[in-house]
Chains A and B, each alone.
Chain A
Amino acid sequence: MLDAKELVDTKNSTQAKKIFGDREVYEQELERIFGRCWLFLAHECQLEKTGDFVTTTMAEDPIIVTRHKDGSLQAFINSCTHRGNKVCTAETGNSKSFVCNYHGWVFATDGSLVDVPLKERCYHGDIDQSQLGLPKVRVESYRGFVFGCFDDNAPSLEEYLGDWGWYLDTWMVGAGEGMELVGPAMKSTLQCNWKVPAENFVGDAYHVGWTHAAALEVLGGELAGLAGNSAEMPYDDLGIQVTTRHGHGFGVIHHAASSIHAKREAYDKYLQASIPKVAENLGQARADLFDGHWNCTTFPNCSFLYGTNIFKIWHPRGPNEIEVWSYVLVHKDMDEAAKKEVVKQAVRSFGTAGTLESDDGDNMVNATTANKGAKARKNRMSSTMAQGHEGPHPVYPGIVGSSFIGETSYRGFYRFYQEVMAAQSWDDIRENNDSWDDIFDNKDYWKNKLAGDQ
């Protein structure tokens, strides 16, 4: 059995390099992380009408998500209970049923087996269809974002998101309508471990000025000053980063939603016009975050940039490969022309041909392959930036770091990673609900800092 404390050292904030490529680690992740956590499946805007379906994967398990005739959302494993063939090979569409290409078994949109060819003549009527439905997956929706979970003992999606939901509401509720996804998803492959982009999105604003220097400079937005780390910037005053229970986290650059790109008048106008309504709905603290630029990961593998508005799922395909699925986030109540502009900009920066996307790819692949060797994989990686410059905050829930650049949310991500990898079940995890943030021991950080600022 793997020693989770060896994989992640929360005190010194290091991780074993082998977590990026080891087959045994990966197999345990499939069971304990992807087998237990809530995983993003689809957005309800893809499943509006009865019979609408989307196919996706939960880690490597193929999944069909549907809008069933009783109006409920359903999800089940896309593998025939007869001889294991996929029963649906399209990625989206509308259908009353799913007919397996192999022998013609017919499954309804809730996964139940409704017809078996030659049932009387060849099975002699001796088949219990009620026991042969496609295995169901728990489905719950949060503000239109649909997640699935294999583990019946897991908390509800709302509990799983916890304080992270408080932050997500900033734009998932926002001015009232919330946000939806624009597809089709752009899909590409990356020969990297799934955690490399997941940790990058949860807490790596550090790389932005360097990795993306070329793109930032030519995009010419307000954040062009980050390019090459050359500008004098008061990093501690520009934003914060946060980690919450269950490893979710984000960093926010205040009032910078559109600052990566130049010329986004329509979007800026929409954001500024919406802020009073957000304040009315959710209070001033979240209204202040509404026009920020956020880099985020919902543990384990759903990442997004609010502001740039790209929404990504890192589907693991083995320890050294992922499929990247990228959608665009748009505010539902924005006018069509402004939405179109947001889609264009998001895709130009972080789509498969995006200028910033291409900067990241090589780094993520090389961060995986460089750790394969017999010596390198025994070494450790660090995520110690601004450790101690973080703590509970009087306004913001979770643990809040001093700056948008820091590694607070790395520490939270890997603390939970360690916890899930060690736990025998969700019961073990629940026992830590009140003590999870003990590793962030500078409890008075914000009290002292805010007092000093006055």
Chain B
Amino acid sequence: MIKQLAVIFFTMILVDNYVLSKFLGICPFLGVSKKLDSAVGMSLAVVFVMVMATAATWPIQTFLLDPNGMGYLQTIVFILIIAILVQLLENFLKKFIPALYRSLGVYLPLITTNCTILGVTILNIDNEYNFIESIVCAAGAGLGFLVAMVLFSGVRRRVEQARPPECFKGLPITLVAAAMTSLSFMGFGGIVDAIFG
């Protein structure tokens, strides 16, 4: 059991990294990765909301949608649930954990409509994970996002120092750098199975 959870966890971080392998959440990946501290802030908010969203959507899918044969409503219901959840979470943090609220700052409402969150919740259902596995998967996916953001903010600092050809300046060179970072993560393919299998 523990071994299986560990396999899921590390697979989500390294092999099936949501940003670099599944190409979800590219918008914050390119938008918020300019500075290390904002990248970390955003990523922590994503980890937090991913776990909470999975904890909320898994029971709804399993106990409400599936028994009534309404699995096709998954996308719209999940979006609704995640939006409500983030709003609720924001209110809650503001009142009870102001320190965390301040450090997450504007990133919390920003990820209301982040596709990685929706992606994790839906893929958890598609992979037929049970509740515990879903939570571990969500935490791993969130940490994978954090790793990708932190690595890429370092890459971007180097890119800013360099002088690419005029036509590559700005977004094009950033996309090329993102592609290379993504390629480098292909090297992790099979590593988790080799360690735990």
- A and B found bound together: no
Which residues on A are within 8 Å of B, measured CB to CB?
A: none
Interface residues of chain B, those whose CB is within 8 Å of chain A, are none
